Amino acid sequence: MSEPNTLLKLAVETALEAGELIRDRRNAVTTMAVSATKTTFTDVVTESDTAAEALIRERLRQARPEDAILGEEGGWSDGGSAVRWLVDPIDGTVNYLYGIPQYAVSIAAQRDGDAVAGVVHNPATGETWTATRGGGAFLNGEPIHESGCDRLDLALVATGFGYDATRRARQAAILQQILPSVRDIRRAGAASLDLCSVAMGRVDGYYERGLGPWDLAAGALIAEEAGAVVGGLAGAQAGPELVIAAGPALFAALHDLLAPLRPDGDV
Ligand code: LIP
């Protein structure tokens, strides 16, 4: 088995196990079941986030003790190999808290900084998206492709908002400018799932400022392998400043609509 496939196999097994853990715990969760907050009072961590990340770290460590791991909740653990894992135990924590079935375990493996394998698993729906670099993208084992949409006015565009109030105010103002030019907007609440939605044509495009590398890595690989373009403004790489994802026939139009509004800034 090639290295990306070996890494993907471990990522999928681990994501499914973590997914079972968070799904089983979900019924005991109420909107008050917050164990900590991060950037703001509304940026929450649940006990399930912590338990799922501990499980994922343990499984990755057992199988590949030399690899580094960066997890949303537990931070950075060094490793001596060229492989680094990016882990979001629950992407869409607020959906999870409210029982909205749009949350996911996201695990990506990077070699020398480039994502080579990734899985996004939604335990509430049983959907598992996978990709290896150069090997295509799949939903539950079936090949997927971006929508092929080439008209902005017919494009369904997903986005998301940061937790910080100042950033949100600006994101709302930008959205006001975008809305008249597209078919409609969706805010599903989990960035990894938004990228997988682009990958399978469930939406035509997506943009968001403020993603962590753990939100982005697996979903971006899946979207790219499904034929989408994933980038930032003016040829920049997708990153915390901005992520834009869309099929090649739509990317430039979405980019050009966004660019003058500077969605990569907060003021
Ligand atoms: C969340 C995202 C969501 C985004 C939030 C946040 P979390 O991740 O996936 O779509 O808009 O800003 O980053 O906090 O649920 O892991």
Residue 117 is predicted with a pLDDT of 98
CATH architecture of 3-143: 2-Layer Sandwich (3.30)
Provide CATH code, domain 152-261.
3.40.190.80
Mutate to test the pocket of ligand 1, among 29, 91, 194 (most ligand atoms within 8 A of CB): 91
C-beta 161 within 6 A of ligand 1: yes
Q: What is the pLDDT of residues 69-126, one digit of tens each?
A: 999 888 888 899 999 999 999 999 999 999 999 999 999 999 999 999 999 999 999 9
| d(C-alpha 210, C-alpha 230), whole Å | 15
Residue 74 is predicted with a pLDDT of 83
pLDDT tens string for the chain (267 positions)?
899 999 999 999 999 999 999 999 887 776 656 677 777 666 667 888 899 999 999 999 999 999 999 998 888 888 999 999 999 999 999 999 999 999 999 999 999 999 999 999 999 999 999 999 999 999 999 999 999 999 999 999 999 999 899 999 999 999 999 999 999 999 999 999 999 999 999 999 999 999 999 999 999 999 999 999 999 999 999 999 999 999 999 999 999 999 999 999 887
Q: Which residues pair with 156 in a beta bridge?
A: 184
237-242's contacts with Cβ under 8 Å and 24+ in sequence apart are: 239/211, 239/213, 240/209, 240/210, 240/211, 240/212, 240/213, 241/209, 242/207, 242/208, 242/209
Residue with CA at minimum distance from ligand 1 atom 15: 92
| d(C-alpha 151, C-alpha 51), whole Å | 43
| d(C-alpha 18, C-alpha 201), whole Å | 27
Domains of the chain, by residue range, sit at: 3-143, 152-261
Percent of the chain residues past pLDDT 70, beyond the cut = 95
- Tokens 């980019």 appear where? 255
C-beta 71 within 6 A of ligand 1: no
